[in-house]
């Protein structure tokens, strides 16, 4: 990229969560391979973010490249209304096979936020069909994050969910205290008391409970006890409320289980998937449910589920996603994630000695360094780039979610560079 390209970008292109008044500088990336990004000046950065947690197999993967090339010679897109195609069928076969019964109905959409919108609409339409149209509110927990569209925003944390500007126009949902007992701490039933009270008082008007299983992502990178999720399932059953698990960030092995709900041996009524679904190649998401719930959704006066994105089941995205899932099926992701977890536990433990660090936590291929104070995004990002890595913190959190293919030396370089920067804070 030329200097004029970067200047045009600064003047005209709006990047995520940035100000047009004082835009943050962007680095120019011209190619990517494996776990490395190549900049326009020839430098290479080890990517600790997996491009917002999606490129689990690394960049420029030959099998994913070939899947895209093969599909584009057949067709790049076709409408999904009244039409089906082999890549969509192949992908949905894999999704049904790898998720728990009775999740056997798949609705494909464009992005994670839309997958959440679809799930919330399914839940509301389900209760309309059952003759209980008053059940329209969602139960959830604080510190959650579910996306940037309006219904998704309404179930994000009302204070820290990045959407407080819109509280006056969002549907008012019902929030319990966030779980406080960490993944590896002894369980105490008191952690569920706030949610129990919320269910007891509001179940008559609650369509569903939605939460991120085991790991709360952009709302704070918090890792909670598996027994909490198990208790949520029991409350949903007791009070006749649907359970939606948002696995857009945690799905496909990131926590050490193929899906995070497996840590608790439960199955949601509705499951949202995205991010790593295509190995980070292009946008695609899925919302899954059971035949029984899906049939009930369609028993309203409309007779159909009222949603249908133009690019639903895009053949290119489906073909790449199907190959990405095949790599998971045939590969060694469990050992890869286990190796990453063990190395992160060793290498991040030394951060606890730093005065600027409040807490360190690791689960699967997720490492989090929580600081006492929020970072200055521009200066800390520049410091990471100078050290040869790409890490994008937010608030008080410096975290990494590396690709599963990262090797020991690359991960050591990544964590050593983070230590150099954080220790200088």
Catalytic residue numbers read 17, 145, 246, 275
Q: Can you spell out the DSSP letters for 316-362?
A: HHHHHHHHHHHHHHHS-HHHHHHHHHHHHHHHHHGGGGSTTEEEEEE
Distance between CA 67 and CA 388 in Å, rounded? 31
What are the structure tokens assigned to 271, written together?
């499951």
Distance between CA 365 and CA 283 in Å, rounded? 22
- Contacts of residues 67-75 at CB distance under 8 Å and 24 or more positions apart, as own/partner, are 67/319, 67/320, 67/322, 67/323, 68/281, 68/316, 68/319, 68/320, 70/319, 71/315, 71/316, 71/319, 71/320, 72/316, 74/315, 75/315
Phi and psi at 273, nearest 5°, equal: -130, 150
Distance between CA 397 and CA 197 in Å, rounded? 31
Rg of the chain over all Cα atoms, to the nearest angstrom: 21
Distance between CA 212 and CA 388 in Å, rounded? 32
């Amino acid at each position: 990229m030329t200097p004029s390209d970067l200047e045009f970008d600064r003047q005209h292109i709006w990047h995520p969560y940035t100000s047009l008044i004082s835009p943050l500088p962007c680095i120019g990336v011209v190619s990517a391979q494996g776990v490395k990004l190549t900049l326009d000046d020839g430098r290479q950065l080890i990517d600790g973010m997996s491009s917002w947690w999606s490129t689990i197999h690394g960049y420029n993967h030959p099998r994913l490249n070939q899947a895209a090339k093969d599909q584009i010679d057949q067709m790049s897109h076709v409408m999904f209304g009244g039409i089906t195609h082999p890549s969509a069928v192949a992908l949905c076969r894999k999704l049904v096979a790898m998720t728990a019964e009775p999740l056997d109905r798949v609705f494909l959409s464009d992005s994670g936020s839309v997958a959440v919108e679809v799930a919330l609409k399914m839940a509301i339409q389900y209760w309309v069909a059952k003759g209980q149209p008053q059940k329209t509110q969602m139960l959830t927990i604080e510190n959650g994050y579910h996306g940037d569209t309006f219904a998704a925003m309404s179930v994000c944390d009302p204070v820290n969910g990045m959407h407080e500007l819109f509280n006056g126009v969002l549907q008012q949902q019902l929030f319990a205290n966030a779980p406080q007992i960490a993944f590896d701490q002894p369980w105490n039933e008191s952690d569920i008391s706030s949610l129990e009270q919320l269910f007891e008082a509001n179940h008559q008007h609650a369509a569903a409970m939605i939460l991120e299983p085991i790991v709360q992502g952009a709302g704070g990178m918090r890792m909670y006890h598996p027994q909490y999720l198990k208790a949520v399932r029991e409350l949903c059953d007791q009070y006749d409320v649907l359970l939606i698990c948002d696995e857009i960030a945690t799905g496909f092995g990131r926590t050490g289980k193929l899906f995070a709900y497996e840590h608790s041996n439960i199955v949601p009524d509705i499951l949202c998937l995205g991010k790593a679904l295509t190995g980070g190649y292009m946008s695609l998401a899925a919302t899954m449910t059971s035949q029984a719930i899906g049939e009930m959704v369609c028993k309203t006066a409309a007779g159909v589920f009222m949603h249908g994105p133009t690019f639903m089941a895009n053949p290119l995205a489906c073909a790449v996603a199907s190959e990405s899932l095949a790599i998971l099926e045939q590969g060694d992701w469990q050992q890869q994630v286990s190796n990453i977890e063990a190395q992160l536990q060793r290498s991040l433990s030394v951060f606890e000695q730093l005065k600027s660090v409040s807490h360190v936590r690791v689960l699967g291929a997720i490492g989090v360094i929580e600081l006492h104070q929020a970072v200055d995004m521009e200066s800390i990002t520049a410091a990471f780039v100078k050290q040869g890595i790409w890490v994008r913190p937010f608030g008080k959190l410096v975290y990494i979610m590396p690709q599963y293919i990262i090797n020991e030396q690359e991960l050591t370089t990544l964590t050593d560079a983070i230590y150099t920067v954080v220790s200088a804070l």
